[in-house]
Structure 1
Amino acid sequence: MTVREVAPAIDPSTLLAGAQFIDAFRIEVNDRSLNARQAAERMMARQPRWADALLALRNILMSPFGLKTSGAGSAAPGQMIGIFPIVSEGPDRLVAGFNDKHLDFRVVVDVATSGAAKEVTATTLVLTHNWLGRTYLAVIMPFHRLIVRSLLRQVAA
């Protein structure tokens, strides 16, 4: 299954008003019973080891700035997808993410029927608040694209 970059097909003002960054990637899968939570769980079940290493490095580097090193906080079990708190959820769309001092982040997982298959789209939105947020976004961007593609492939696996 091929992951491809697509034009974001969402209204960013309803999900993260003022977002300065938005991208979307899509994969087609043969599981017609798949819903948004299941797709998000498959995506976030595990990250590639190199992505885990980058996240650990990010946490070490960002903790002196007082930034969140995980989205967990006080979210209840079942209200998290991977490390991200669930913001909203329906059968065809799950929105996860959190707000921090440097930026606000959302990942939107949409599932739609396409012929005999399902299309799973992961859309990322980011609203930066300051120079640290803009710098952080610029540094992680090359890795973000690789990670999202890798995570989407897990939905089809």
Structure 2
Amino acid sequence: MPMELPANADIHPYLPQSYFADSHSIELSYRGESALEIYFEMVSRTPKWVNFLMDLRNRIVSKLGLKHLGRMADLDQNKPVEDYKVGDQVGIFSIVSLRHNEVVVEDCDKHLNVRLSFLLVPNGNQVTLHATTVVHVKNTFGKVYMFFVAPVHKVIVPKSLNSLIAR
């Protein structure tokens, strides 16, 4: 899939030599929220079947020596969104880049590096949200893992984004 992202997107440096790259866009009503606020809203609406798959993933891979990630929506409910900064943990990811219109989060281990960008392109009362995932694999186990995860990812991201339409 061609990546149609604005040139100033912070995720661009991660695209070269990626093993997997995927981007989905959606139009939403816009009230000036930050990319991080919309990301939090999406993960708080994570469908139950996605949580089930995350729980299943965690049980399986923990037996293979990979880390237990938790769930997407494992957020600090007492921390105001404006207090988050680069390096902070947000659910299963850590923030690596944070601007009002884009947040880039990542999870890296010995098998792969996963980065996710939420980029907002405002247009009046509407905003285009680009959700981009980039994965760099480090070894054969990372490739095997992505063999199973990539097809599911292509279903989960659009479904999760669509949960924002009803906001």
- Compute the TM-score of the two structures, normalised by the length of structure 1: 0.83
1:143 aligns with 2:152: yes
1:15 aligned residue: 14
1:31 is displaced (CA, Å) by: 1.6
Q: Where does structure 1 lack aligned partners over 5 or more consecutive residues?
A: none
Q: Where does structure 2 lack aligned partners over 5 or more consecutive residues?
A: none
- 8 Å CA contact 2:10, 2:97 repeated in 1: no
- 8 Å CA contact 1:92, 1:112 repeated in 2: yes
Q: Which amino acid aligns with 2:55?
A: A
1:85 aligned residue: 94
In structure 2, what is the Cα distance between the partners aligned to 1:152 and 1:102? 27
Q: 1:12-51 maps to which residues of 2 (within 5 A)?
A: 14-15=13-14, 18-51=17-50
| Stretches (4+) displaced over 6 A | none
- 8 Å CA contact 1:86, 1:95 repeated in 2: yes
1:132 aligns with 2:141: yes
In structure 2, what is the Cα distance between the partners aligned to 1:91 and 1:133? 32
- Compute the TM-score of the two structures, normalised by the length of structure 2: 0.78
- 8 Å CA contact 2:93, 2:105 repeated in 1: yes
1:97 aligns with 2:110: no
For residues 46-100 of structure 1, the C-alpha deviation after alignment (integer angstroms, 9 at most, x for no partner) is: 321111111111111111222121179xxx8643333222122110110111111
- Matched residue pairs, number? 151
1:113 aligned residue: 122
Q: Aligned residues: percent identity?
A: 31
In structure 2, what is the Cα distance between the partners aligned to 1:36 and 1:123? 13
1:148 is displaced (CA, Å) by: 0.5
In structure 1, what is the Cα distance between the partners aligned to 2:97 and 2:10? 15
| Bigger Cα displacement from structure 2, 102-111 vs 28-37 | 28-37
Q: 3-state DSSP class of the match of 1:155?
A: coil
1:7 is displaced (CA, Å) by: 2.6
Change in CA separation of 1:150 and 1:80 when aligned onto 2, cut-off 3 Å = farther
Q: Which amino acid aligns with 2:67?
A: K
Q: 3-state DSSP class of the match of 2:159?
A: helix
In structure 2, what is the Cα distance between the partners aligned to 1:43 and 1:81? 12
Q: Which amino acid aligns with 1:7?
A: M
Q: Which amino acid aligns with 2:91?
A: G
